[in-house]
Amino acid sequence: MGENNFFTLIHKDASSNARCGRLLTARGAIDTPCFMPVGTQGTVKTLSPQELKEAGAQIVLSNTYHLFLRPGLEIIEKAGGLHTFMSWDKPILTDSGGYQVFSLALLRKISDEGVHFQSHIDGMRHFFTPQDIVRIQQVLGSDIIMPLDECVHYPCGRDQAEVAMERTVSWAKKSRITHSAIPQQGTRPQYLFGIVQGATYEDLRIRCCEELIETGFDGYCIGGLSVGEPKNLMYNMAGICAGALPQGKPRYAMGVGLPDDIIEAVTLGVDMFDCVAPTRYGRNGTAFTHTGEITVRNAPYAKDYGPLDDMCACYTCKNFSRAYLRHLCNAKEMLGGRLVSLHNVYFYLELMRAIRQAVAEGTFLAFKKTFLGNYHEKA
Amino acid sequence: MGENNFFTLIHKDASSNARCGRLLTARGAIDTPCFMPVGTQGTVKTLSPQELKEAGAQIVLSNTYHLFLRPGLEIIEKAGGLHTFMSWDKPILTDSGGYQVFSLALLRKISDEGVHFQSHIDGMRHFFTPQDIVRIQQVLGSDIIMPLDECVHYPCGRDQAEVAMERTVSWAKKSRITHSAIPQQGTRPQYLFGIVQGATYEDLRIRCCEELIETGFDGYCIGGLSVGEPKNLMYNMAGICAGALPQGKPRYAMGVGLPDDIIEAVTLGVDMFDCVAPTRYGRNGTAFTHTGEITVRNAPYAKDYGPLDDMCACYTCKNFSRAYLRHLCNAKEMLGGRLVSLHNVYFYLELMRAIRQAVAEGTFLAFKKTFLGNYHEKA
């Protein structure tokens, strides 16, 4: 497994729980705190692998549920795995699809053994066990594997949250066993994370952390965040989990988040992030800038010949004006969504670089204050 | 005007009317025969200027009608012209919008003075005179300007074709006068072409050529082709016009065409081409290859791990399989249409390079035979 070499904690901030480190996989290193652009269906929407690399992406995320349903496992397996299929030779983390089964699939029925559901694409019936989910990701060739978990919505009653948390732990243990049985010799190591559930209940979150730690994983996800709860509750849960998880393992806040969410979670000791916002907002003509979000397709930008963000060095900002991007978005030209997505992904990756540098230099809280001050100013 | 230096005829094929030459504009040279990727709304759909340059595009086409309506002239003028607006520093040819007024606009009413129409976007009423159309393109900063012309549909009765042809000639003369009055000192020269109409009537086509030549233009377009007529009629008309036009001026077959149409028209002595097919087909998942068109989203390609075209060196073919592109198209991922469009544009530009080389080496007819033989084989 080589799990002792997987994560190296390089620097801890003296004034907060922020930290920087490095994940080492067979397909390359990932500096943390890191942001993973989301490539749900085996593509980060609108962007090419070359653009992602040039923007500084060290890892992308993809989704087991979506890829299993379309194009299907056999097609990816015959391609030689997901990396070859999508032409991405750096690390890939695959989400288990637990969240998608609970948010997209039809007629799902859950039991301790797994989850029955119907595909949201064609209505076909499927059954996923936690063991299946590990094996599927093994075939995909993911560098970092997520176990099947049970997600709950917000708000969620305590009883339901407890059942889901316990099932998540039980599935995590089964996943661990399946994962340990995968022969690793001669293949690239695949790292398995545990997912902390427990909704907004502090004691459930802590119990979940403890049980997962007892089993032992290569890293830990804080799941069930960014599902509609107020921000203070999100930060509260992230902080509680980060505090209960081991220092020597990476911590990943799944689906988090917007730039200010990421900075807060870094402060609490979180190392890894993913979010659809850069590309989803981008396709809708909304850009992240150091002075906040701007919706470039709106009328005020019609004759604004400045770049999306005058502090940005991405291809979009170096070459195109807000006026042009507005025109593209209004004329429904795909290049618009593509160029704003590219900027947004670059913005996120640049933010992570700045965070890492600030942590390394011991200036993280000052950086945070300046960044958030500018970010919440009106652009 | 510097029109004597605009076009240089470099080579004439001994066995056909094919020729190669060079157009020289203030923004760079264009080797002919050339293909101009179509950027109707100020963007070649899905592609960035950088990708177009890397694919070898020497010039792009944009459209006066579309840009005038959206984003509007003032916005482009304030940007410093179309080149700056769309971040393309190589030559641009703008179509007059005549074709769009006749195919897209609502409630058009034509007179000898110009054309009244309503915008297809918002129903606003507008009136274009031939003089307006030249001035608009002057403001856009186009390197090559098209005069307003009257297009007819296929089939078209002789009387209607004659009236449209005569009006096109009269408008071309007015355009010439307006264009000659543009002060050229200290600005980049803008070249004005004349457009040959006359539908499928040989004598009308020849009369139109003669009248335009008498007025004198920097180049000549063969208009009204590729509007639904049988291919032999299209080639026939292209050949008649090319034969009636001066050797020392470039000839441009507007809207032509598919790869085999281009090769036939080059044989007849045509120098310049544009067509929406590479990007329109691309967005629909159809690729041009040296063995013909393939619709990669179809089932036979589900497990086809080869490139779109094994003789192609484009980014798409070097990095992605048909199976992956099929997946992207089926999953409605924009990257699919983008990557197939990129391949198609590259394929067209590579075809033009191969044509130029064959003409220069005196092997054009052999090249044509081989290319068409492969192309009409089933892929």
Nearest-CB residue to A41 (from B74, B303, B331)? B331
Rounded-to-integer distance, Cα A94 and Cα A271, Å: 17
Residue A377 pLDDT class (50, 70, 90 cuts): confident
Determine the Cα–Cα distance for residues A250 and A255; give it in Å rounded to an integer: 16
Q: How confident is the model at residue B5 (pLDDT cuts 50, 70, 90)?
A: confident
Residue A159 CB-density burial (10 A; 0-12 exposed, 13-18 middle, 19+ buried): exposed
Q: How would you label A238-253 residue by residue, b for 16+ Cβ within 10 Å and e otherwise?
A: bbbbbebbeeebbbbb
Q: How confident is the model at residue A112 (pLDDT cuts 50, 70, 90)?
A: very high
Across all residues in chain B, what is the average pLDDT?
Answer: 96
Given the residues A95, A132, A261, A309, the one annotated as active site: A95
Which pLDDT belongs to residue B186?
Answer: 67
Q: What is the pLDDT of residues A234-267, one digit of tens each?
A: 999 999 999 999 999 999 999 999 999 999 999 9
Chain A partners within 8 Å of B331 (Cβ): 41, 70-71
B315, B334, B342, B345, best to mutate vs chain A, most A CBs in 10 Å: B334
Catalytic residue among B95, B132, B149, B218: B95
Q: Which candidate in A53, A70, A75, A330 is best for mutational testing of the B interface (most B CBs within 10 A)?
A: A75
Residue B302 in contact with partner chain A when CB distance is under 8 A = yes
Q: Nearest CA to CA, how far is B297 from chain A (Å)?
A: 12
Per-residue model confidence as pLDDT tens digits over B199-256 = 999 999 999 999 999 999 999 999 999 999 999 999 999 999 999 999 999 999 999 9
Give the closest of B46, B75, B331 to A302, CB-based.
B75
> Is A53's Cβ below 8 Å from some Cβ in B?
no
Rounded to an integer, what distance in angstroms lies between the CA atom of residue B147 and that of residue B130?
A: 6
- Reported as a pLDDT band with limits 50, 70 and 90, residue B182 is confident
Surface-to-core class of residue A378, CB atoms within 10 Å of its CB (0-12 exposed, 13-18 middle, 19+ buried) = exposed
Domains and CATH numbers, chain A: 3-275 (3.20.20.105), 276-379 (no CATH)
Residues 67-106 of A with CB under 8 A from B: 70-71, 74-75, 78-79, 85-87
The nearest alpha carbon in chain A to B297 belongs to A71
Residues of B in contact with A323 (CB under 8 A): 71, 75, 78-79, 85
3-class state of residue A244 by DSSP: helix
Q: What phi and psi, each to the nearest 5 degrees, are found at residue B177?
A: -65, -45
Q: Which residues of chain A have a CB within 8 Å of the CB of B333?
A: 41, 43, 45
Mean per-residue pLDDT, B174-197 = 90
Provide the ipTM. Answer: 0.97
Q: Note whether B331 contacts A46, CB cutoff 8 Å.
A: no
Output Rg (C-alpha) for chain A, integer angstroms.
20
CA distance A141 to A145: 9
In chain A, what percentage of residues exceed pLDDT 90? 93
Between these two residues, B88 and B151, which has the higher pLDDT value?
A: B88
Structure tokens given for A159: 């009883």
* Cα–Cα dist A358/A263, whole Å: 12
Question: Is the confidence at residue B112, as pLDDT, over 80?
Answer: yes
Are A323 and B75 within 8 A, CB to CB? yes
> pLDDT at residue A191 above 70?
yes
- Best probe of the A interface among B78, B276, B303, B327, by most A CBs < 10 A, is B327
Chain A residues with CB under 8 Å of B305 CB are 78-79
Quote the pLDDT of residue A17. 98
Reported pTM = 0.97
Helix, strand and coil in chain B, % to nearest 5 = 45, 20, 35
CB atoms within 10 A of CB B74: 11
Q: Please, what is the average pLDDT of chain A?
A: 96
pLDDT at A185: 66
Q: What per-residue confidence (pLDDT) applies to A4?
A: 59
